[in-house]
Structures are given as C-alpha cells and as structure tokens.
Chain A
C-alpha cells in the first residue's frame, strides 16, 4: 500500500429495507477496502452487483429505503459514519467528489457553465463571486476546454457530450478534493472521447495528487488506469488486490470468468468463456457462497457455508474456499 491510507472501509454493510420491513436486500455486504493517497482503485462487477450503492454509501447519499447497518468508513483518519448530516455535507464535493455517468443530464440546463462550476467553490470556500468565476475559468482551462472565458458564460446545451463530461470533471476537482469517485464516467462517450477523458483524469490525478475510484464494468479501463482492483459480486467483494497480480493469476472463479470473457486480438477463433446462469436475487441469496450456483469449481461446502475473505498474499484477498490457506484447510474439511 504506497503512501498513507486515505480511505479504509471496514466490514461496511448497507441494506435496502422494503416498506413493510419484511424484505431486506443486502446491496453492500461486509465490504473491506482501503486506498492510499494518489492511488487508483477500480471496482468491477456486473450491473446490480452493488458497485453504485457502495459509491453512494461512501457519499452517504443513499435513498430513504437504504440503511448503512454496519462497519466503519475511515477517511483521513475520521469515521464518516460518525459525522452528522451537516458535517458530511461539508465533506461532499470538498474532500470527496463524485462524477456521474450521463454528462448530457448532469448539468442544469438553466444555469451557465461558470455558475455551476463556481458553485462548490463559493459554497465550500465562501469565495466571492468574482474570484469563484475566475477559478472556474482556470478549471475549464485545466480540463482542456478551448477559449474558456467565452465558454464559461455559455449554457450546457451549447456543449458537446465530451465537453460536458470534462466540465463535470472540472466541477469534481473544483475544491481540490482528496478522493474522486467516477461512476461509469465513460460509458456514454464514444471511444476517441473516452481515451481523451481518461488521460485528462490521469493528468488531474497527477497534478492534484488525487485518489481515484473507478466504478466500471469495462476491464480495459481498469487495466489501463488502476493500481488496485476490487471485484464485486452480489454485494460482496469477492477478490481484491494489485491489478497486475490479479490479471495474471486470478484466484476467484468469478474473476477468472470475467477475465476470460474479454475478447483479445490474439485469441483467434476461440469461444469466449461466458458465465451461465442469472445474476443472483439480492433479496434471497442462497446459503453459502453467492456465486455457488454459477461456479464451475463449486464444492458442497461452497453451497453450505459462505467463505470468509482469505488474505492470499500481502495486499490480496479472495472470498473463496479455494483461497483457503493450507494451514486452515485440514481443520474445516
């Protein structure tokens, strides 16, 4: 773990409670992740695996039906869960920022770009309108928007998708946050714009010493951008560790399947490995390991007992009986 740990989630769980309190959906279940300053963490998983809920939990902006039921969220030495709503609001946008997926809709159509970019500066730093406006122009320049001083007073509908995403990025970094969470930042962009935006994020990270969390289902981005990787399945982190180590030697069968499903130029005509079966219903998960029904290496134990998270080597862990260290294995057989 390079550098001092910036963020560490310990056994964090957030559940959705239905109206009558009967159905409970374990959207985020016992997640333990940590991230150092300036590092980049990729969170990968199928849709519905709880990636976004995890991000929202970190920002404490869950919908009313959701509850954070356990765990700690240490950020720069403070537990975010202990903060009052008001204190947490001051953290949002100032020390932790989040970028949304759809650039076209993320900007308020009725207010100018400058107004929306300057807003966090004025709220969090109480800057005077003039200085905030100048900072906004600087920010637009730093996200490589051409002729920022004319663009600043224009409106969102006068911008292309790519430019809007960069503006959202500018908003994100406007108050020099320590952590930037990007929730599927590139899905709605076409490839050329996507590459530019990723390079921009990397430059911003280097310039401002930002820690980055990438939420995506695109393993290509993870490979290119991230130092650490966490694979989520049915609300749980099934495998995490350095990207290079996991890409070369994945432990958890689900990670293997995910990596296997990426078409590579070199593979020639081989069939891609698809994962059969359906993603699990989070409201009534089977006993034991959630991936058991779809796992090629399933054992009777998997179906009965949910595996804990085993540390396979320093900085790596997997939640699978295969990863059980030899020392423990004999006793549980």
Chain B
C-alpha cells in the first residue's frame, strides 16, 4: 500500500506564470466522471475533522470521521451503539471497568493491523470536546493482548459509553506508529485511519478526494472515488446539482428546496439531527420584566404557528417537538404536542395585564437563521407582542449569548451531543454556560440525578426535570430542525437517514451509484 501522497507543498509565486497556470490547474473535469460520487459541502472542510483527537462537540466533523475512520462502537443503521472495531464489550458488575475484544484482521489504510495498543493511544491522545471529563473519569487502560483491553474508571459513570462512542472522537482509532512518525500536523495533512475511504488529496477550503479502501472489514465500498467540493453559495449548489456537476448537495433550504422537489431526477432528503431551536426569555428572572409572568411566556409559545413555519422553511420535514431536548437523546421526556392558539395567547396576555399587547424590545438571533426570526416575529406580532429583529453575526451572537449580554427574547439553538443531562447542564441548570437564571426545584433535581447510578431512577428524575422546564415555560420550543440535502439522478443509495439523527450521508460503504458497481 503506497503511503498516501504528501500534503500540498507550497508553490512559490516565482514559479508561477499565467500561461503555465492554465496547465497546472487540477483538471477535474466539470462533468462528474463515472465511478465517482461528488458531494458539495456547504461548509469549508477543516483538517481538524480528519483527526478524531480534535473532534469539537458539533456534528459536522463526523461527516469526515465516518468516511476516513472507524470507531470501537458507533451509531450505525438501526443500532445507535453498533459494535465495529470492538467485536464485543462487557461492563464489570461494579461498573468501574469495561472490557473490549477487538475484531480480528482489521487493517488501517497503510496495511498496519488495528491493535489494542492503538485503541489505548487514541483514547489517551484525545483532546477534543469533553476531553477533561474523560480524563477525570477514566483511571487507565490495560492492554492484555493485541485484541483485548480494559478501560478502568475512577467512579461509576453511566454515560461512559455514550461519551466514548457517540459524543466524542475518543473511540475513533488511529495508528499509533504512523501518528508518532509524521507528527500531529503531518497526520492532519495526510491522515491514515481504518475507515471505508482512504485520503488521497486535500486542497483546503476547496476539495477533498478519497478513494475506496478495498480492505475495509465491513464490506468494500461500492463507489471507487469520493470527492467533497466546497460550494459556499446555496443557489450555486442547487445549480450545480441541476447541471449534474455534483451528485449530492448538502443544506438546501426554503424556496430552493421547493424548486429541488419540482426538478425531475432530483430528490430532497431530510434528516432530523439533534439540533433543536427555541425562544429563550432571558429576563424571566427579573421581576419588573413582563416575561417574569409565566402566562406571558406561555402566550408567546401559543403564538408560534409551528406547522406553517415548518412547511415554509423545511417543507414540513422538521420535527415539531415541544421540548428543547432532542427526541433521540437519552432520558428524553415526551411533552404534550405544541399548540398554536393565538386567541388563548391574547387572553393570557390580557390576564397578565397586557390587553393591547406590549413592546418587547429586541429579538436576538444568529444572522444565518434570521429567516426563522422573521417568521416568528410576525407570529408574535399577531398576538400583540411587538419585537424588533436584531440578527447578530454568528460568532458575535454566541459570544453575547454566552456572556449573558442578550435581553428579552433570544432565538437559541444547540446541536451539541450528549444526553438530556448534558443539555440541561448547559442551558437550564444554575451555572450553565447559557443559563441566565435558574429555578431551585430544577437545580435540586439536576443535582439528584447526577449522583444517581441506577439508570431507571435517574431517568425518572430527568423526566421530572424536563416536565418542570415545560410547565414553567422557560423556553418556547420551535422545532428539531431537519437538515435537508439534494440528491442527483446518478445516486442509488444516498445514505441519508440510514443512521438515526445523523444529517449527513453515512455509512459511506453503503452508498451506491445507479446501474454501476
């Protein structure tokens, strides 16, 4: 197996002349050749996503991990915790250690076998999201032989497997010898993993090219060549899809999605990820603010016309939950369905002393989701809550949100991994990064569940917590957003929706082109 080609070297300006450049340009023909699947990504591909150790707490890096790497245990079609590199695992009775037995005969792209030593190395070098929690809770890793190891914990941690498998990149295995040989940056420039596709070349912000890894243990990938192109503009992505230059276009929204469904040969694929959106009433703990009155908050919730918003913006694909906790999260409590009742909302407002509604100042939101804001604005105005839309540039919005500078209504969202407990910790409970205040009974429940080892008991406490959040109307949930992508005529199995809650195409080895191997 030839080692992957060295990363892009620096071509000095001197060596370049306009005429020569014509020839030098990568001549990827603009009509997609056969045996190749071209995916247009809406975001620029970051090399950090090629290295499991750097996985940030967002879903996007897993788009790359599923292609280039493989994990001990990962979400697969039909099974959120499917055994992959780890054939089997057992938890010790005292829940202080987990024993794993590796699948035999599994190779990395460079032909090296996957061994327990690599698993130990991958866990210890992990420095992505929640790496501190992992470091605190994991006592150590004992390698028994090439295919058996045990991970010891300092204290019982019911969520260990969730973290190790799906919430972080710790469980995704990299070849120790190769990483130490090429170093951290070298590895990012030419990653080697055990996934279904091998890294071929990467032009930052432009294009990633991968090739099928025949030796993949699960099954050899059906498509020979996989190319990810970065096409930032949504309209251009749709045009490229219509022209057949690309096969899959990530993130097509609103009216462009309408057009896509109407174009013959193209199909829209929607996957409900774990990104929930809500309105957060930042001033509810301030007695003078109208939002202090629970009826006003409930009125805002009732004003939202969820169905129409869903139909308009995501063709009805988004999941209308009435909770800020994603439905596919552990310990999820199903609240009553969301209701759109402007009349009752106006009655509640009148009772709360606002017969003619009130001016509620600013409505803060992330500029890239201002389209939701504009629609919600109209709904609120219909019941008399008059707000002014204040969209902030993405980074500035999160900064202000975290620094608790935002007021009145905040259109919040989170696609972070974890379970209902981790989501509550960040947004609901006292001291949470985005909690502007908290309620004692909820804080007490949270503390109680943190110490509870019995899963059933813990689930009951978390359910009660979510019920309290719902009753106090801390939030007015909007939806669990569907991530919509377009699929071209050449694609057989597009891989969308195979893995529950995963917005991108996966597992890559199952993808097929129509009519061709």
Do A and B contact each other directly (Cβ–Cβ < 8 Å)? no
Q: Which residues of A contact B (CB under 8 A)?
A: none
Q: Which residues of B contact A (CB under 8 A)?
A: none
